[in-house]
Amino acid sequence: MTTAEKNPRGIPKALFVEDVSAFLSGYKDSTELGLRHLQEVLSKYRFMEANMLQRKQSMLSKIPEIEKTLQMAKYLEERKASSEEPISVQYELHDTLYATARVQPRETVYLWLGANVMLEYPIAEAIALLTDKLEVSRRRLTHAEEDLEFLRDQITVTEVNTARVFNWDVKMRRQTAETSVTVAS
Amino acid sequence: MRMLEKDEEADVEVKWEDQQRINEFSRLNNKVSDWEDQLSAKKQEKEYLEDLSGELELADEDEPVKYRLGEAFVAISLEDAQSRLEKEQDKLTEDIDALDTKMTEASERMAELKRLLYGKFGNAINLDK
């Protein structure tokens, strides 16, 4: 029920059923088998959709974090260039609890890289690194959104296929019933 | 949900062209609801910033302002705070305008798709949100 065609991230494209009876001939003319197969394809797409949605959410929470860090790094750089005075800052000591600190402008900052690792960077390098990370995350978000759109298309195609196979079956049964009534009378 | 009566059953073939239109409609529908959320969040933010800039008009010039940068509040001069605020407001206005344009384009296209699809399938298709 999928074709060889794929999107840039390798998700297969769903096959559009043009002719229901031709489609069912691939399933021993059994509506039941055909529908079951469509259902399988649909649940695969839905599974991928759920995964992709999660990826999108994780990017959506990651991007503002990087933006905040970048904003602060840029301020530190700006400030260092303009004045030697210490910066007065209120920082979050604990949830909802703030303390005041005086920070001497410096040449370097520490970036938390994850996995319990923190590294010292010259401010300009930190900014470059963060800018790069931000760009990568934004690109990933765009890709996730594109994939979601693509998946949604495939889901719609598969749903329409299902509805049509189903309707076709109802029509067939009705015809058969009518014919047998005619024969009986 | 209900079954269609026999005489209103639409016996119209769904062509690939129609399927693509259905897909496009569903895609746009999704995007628009995403954009609506973004738009209302940004409008809210803009309102806050407007209130803020009003407040800053009244602030003491010699008193530093605690401006939020990232997770912390940094003491900066009133002048700096105002120029930062202005930049943030400009950025927001730009974003809101861009969203508005996209949404208008999308709803025009959706109206067109509705016309085509309802025209062909009548009550056999339902294109609401």
ipTM of the complex: 0.73
Partner-chain contact B72 A153, CB within 8 Å: no
Nearest CB to B69 within list A75, A153, A156:
A75
**Contact of B6 with B56, CB cutoff 8 Å:** no
Facing residues of A111 across strands?
Answer: A119
Where exactly are the structural domains of chain A?
A: 29-162
Cβ pair B75, B64 in contact under 8 A = yes
Instruction: List chain B residues with CB under 8 Å of A152.
Output: 23, 26-27, 30
Which of A81-95, B10-24, B31-45 shows the lowest mean pLDDT across its residues?
Answer: B10-24
Task: Tell me what pLDDT residue B7 has.
Answer: 47
Instruction: Give just the sign of the alpha carbon dihedral A137, A143, A149, A155.
Output: negative
Q: Which CATH number fits domain A29-162: 2.160.10.10, 3.40.50.300, 1.10.287.370, 1.10.3720.10?
A: 1.10.287.370
Q: Among A94, A95, A87, A134, which Cα is nearest to A111's?
A: A134
Q: Name the nearest CA neighbour of A154 among A52, A5, A15.
A: A15
Q: Which position has the token pair 């339902």?
A: B126
Of A16, A149, A164, the CB nearest to B27: A149
Confidence check: pLDDT of B9 > 60:
no
pLDDT given at position A2: 64
Which residue in B2, B4, B14, B77 has the most chain A C-beta atoms within 10 A of its own C-beta, making it the best mutation to test that interface? Answer: B14
pLDDT at A67: 93
What's the rounded Cα separation, in Å, for the pair A20 and A169?
9
Neighbouring residues of B116: CB distance < 8 A, sequence distance ≥ 6: B21
Q: Which one is predicted more confidently, A28 or B113?
A: B113
Is A17's pLDDT higher than 70? yes
- Cβ separation of B70 and A72 shorter than 8 Å? yes
| Separation of alpha carbons A161 and A17, rounded Å | 6
**Domains in chain B, start-ordered, CATH in brackets?**
14-122 (1.10.287.370)
Nearest CB to A153; choose among B23, B69, B70: B23
A115-163 pLDDT, tens digit per residue, is: 899 999 999 999 999 999 999 999 999 999 999 999 988 998 999 889 8
